[in-house]
């Protein structure tokens, strides 16, 4: 699991080649949806503890291939915006 920013500065979670955007959260949990949720209607999601140290729940059933726009540079990962 990695955390990154999109090129527009939005937080992203990266897990197994897929990126997720932060959808919602509370003091205990943060909810992440697949970045392809809107375009491909992908239902994959991840729930992490609020401090991001623990994955609480994940639905890893994607209806598309891993994201080719995840890039790694010397400063870490970033995700190009779609």
Q: What is the DSSP letter of 67?
A: P
Look at residue 57 and tell me if it is in a domain.
yes
The total of structural domains in the chain comes to: 1
Report the distance separating Cα 20 and Cα 14, nearest Å: 6
CA gap 65, 20 in Å, rounded = 14
Q: What is the mean pLDDT of residues 4-13?
A: 83
- Distance linking the first and last C-alpha atoms of the chain: 21
Residue 30 is predicted with a pLDDT of 92
Beta-strand runs (E) in 26-66 = 29-34, 45-49, 55-59
Q: What are 31-65's pLDDT values in tens digits?
A: 999 988 887 889 899 999 877 778 888 888 888 88
Read off the CATH number of the domain in which 48 is found. Answer: 2.20.25.240
| pTM of the predicted protein model | 0.76
Range of the domain at 42: 2-63
Cβ(19)–Cβ(79) below 8 Å: yes
């Amino acid at each position: 699991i990695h955390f990154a920013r999109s090129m527009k500065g939005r937080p992203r979670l990266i897990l197994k080649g897929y990126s997720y955007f932060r959808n919602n959260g509370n003091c205990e949990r943060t909810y992440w949806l697949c970045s392809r949720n809107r375009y491909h209607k992908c239902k994959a999601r991840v729930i992490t503890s609020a401090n991001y140290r623990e994955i609480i729940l994940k639905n890893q059933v994607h209806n598309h291939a891993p994201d080719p726009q995840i890039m790694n540079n010397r400063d870490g990962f970033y995700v190009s915006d779609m």
